[in-house]
Chain A
Amino acid sequence: MGRRVVITGMGVCSPLGNTLSQFTTNLYEGKNGIRFWEELAALNFSCQLGGKPDLSEIELTNYFAKNQLNGLQSTGIIYGMIAATDAATQAQIQPSDSTNWNLGVQFGTGISGVAKFREAIYKIDESNVRRLGSTSVYQTMSSGVSALIAGKYGAGNVVATNSSACSSGVEALLLGFERIQHGKATQMLVGSTSDSGPYIWGGFDALRVLPRKYNAEPEQASRPMSASASGFVPASGAAAFVLEDLETAQKRGATILAEIVGGNVNSGGMRSGGSMTAANPEGIQRCIQAALNNAQVEAHQISSINGHLTATTKDSFEIAQWKEALGLAAADFPPINSFKGHFGHALAASGAIECVGVVQQLVTQQRFGNRNIEEVHPQIVHLVPEEKITFSSSTYPQNYIIKASFGFGDVNACIIFKHYQNT
């Protein structure tokens, strides 16, 4: 066992709100963050819905130096900086004049600055490469978001971006967790981000995995675990966490939000049913079981589960893997929720944004109910009692919450958080 790792700050920039309190209230109250976008309709998308953070009330100069805002088009970088700055502020980490060799940054993303990349490609094709400007490189490099965050706080430990599709967020948390656990850093700013818009979401529309029937009823479109689930609604945003070793946090009197007790990442190897787009069931089970082993937590100690559960036909498959991996009788299966019913699937950012909700369930000792389940999918009812899914938001004792994210390429990530009692 290495050092204990705790969370001392969180920030979120999401379709469901850009502050922790707003995001948490909206999760609890079952609010909808999915909107219809005229831009997608004009581009002939089948699914014209999406979740985007509303930045109309955000003063960007609170987050960026003024000269960083010239030509800034990468929404992923904007969301990431907002989330990371708010997390650092909550943890009382200030930008410093000197390098902080013990602070690292690990931010996940699938791709960065597609709007900027599009502009650059047009200029290059017009033989006008000389007019790209100075920010084309960092706005379109995956590690641009990590570099900007690190520059703001003078981070002098690892500064990197990880990319593992929709498991990038949970993976970033675990990379930061392990680095601190092994004594290689004392503080890590971790999280993940995802750009908004048609160039990110188009590929999924083409794959026919997004819902097509709900363009007029965006609030009903994302239906995880429901009998009428018909695909995931694409979303975007970012979330960030300050991870810290327990001793350092205690010494400086930081408020501790929760503890990370363990986790695991793996891949099903695209074998035995696994493929680019589908998961090898054994891979998922092994990932969950390895996370439990790593955390030294027994399945029966789990208070609740936050699933990947995107609202495709794979939801029942996922529940089956949870059930098999935990090895509990149906009646003892923990309550399970998915926040994608509130704001859709934020792709590379999903894991991080959803982990904020998970930690808030521990902090507030509540559970947040699922949205849009009038009728639980019959294959799920067959696996676990309906009340494990159909509960509404309420006060609820939460000690350990387990959360998983899965991604294209048959990759899996699973993390376990524990309630922390500040004395």
Chain B
Amino acid sequence: MEHLTKLKAIIEKYLPEDVDVASIQLESKFIEELNINSAHLVDIVLDVEDEFDIMLENEDMDKMKSVQDALSIIEAKIKAA
């Protein structure tokens, strides 16, 4: 749960002004639903790396369609570390 809170705080920084923070849900899709552009997704990946002290590969990023996808990747990486 703590991981999700941290992830939400990162996503919030890149939300467009017309998207409410409350709309960040586990099933939310970054691009289609949260209206985060692909350039900002790059920044989210970098912030996630810093926050969780992990490294995300390009393939990980390709799989990150929703908040749940991101959370699963983060938790897998932490476990593997």
A interface with B by C-beta (< 8 Å)? 65-67, 70-71, 131, 133-135
Contacts and interface: CB of A to CB of B under 8 A. Distances in A.
Is the contact region of chain A dominated by helix, strand, or loop, or is it mixed?
A: loop
B48 to A, nearest CB: 12
A133 B43 contact: yes
B15 interface: yes
Given A67-B17, A133-B42, A134-B43, 10 more contacts: A65-B16, A67-B13, A67-B14, A67-B16, A67-B40, A70-B43, A131-B46, A131-B49, A134-B42, A135-B43
Contacts of A135: 39, 43
B15 A134 contact: no
Is the contact region of chain B dominated by helix, strand, or loop, or is it mixed?
A: helix
Contacts of B15: 67
Nearest to A131: B46
A133 B16 contact: no
Contact of A134 (B16, B17, B40): B40
B35 to A, nearest CB: 11
Contact of A70 (B13, B16, B17): B13
B17 A133 contact: no
A134 B37 CA distance: 10
Interface in B31-55: 39-40, 42-43, 46, 49
B42 A70 contact: no
A65 B17 contact: yes
Nearest to A137: B39
Nearest to B49: A131
A314 B14 CA distance: 50
Nearest to B17: A65
25 contacts: A65-B16, A65-B17, A66-B13, A66-B17, A67-B13, A67-B14, A67-B15, A67-B16, A67-B17, A67-B40, A70-B13, A70-B14, A70-B43, A71-B43, A131-B46, A131-B49, A133-B42, A133-B43, A133-B46, A134-B39, A134-B40, A134-B42, A134-B43, A135-B39, A135-B43
Interface in B44-81: 46, 49
Nearest to A65: B17
Contacts of B43: 70-71, 133-135
B29 to A, nearest CB: 18
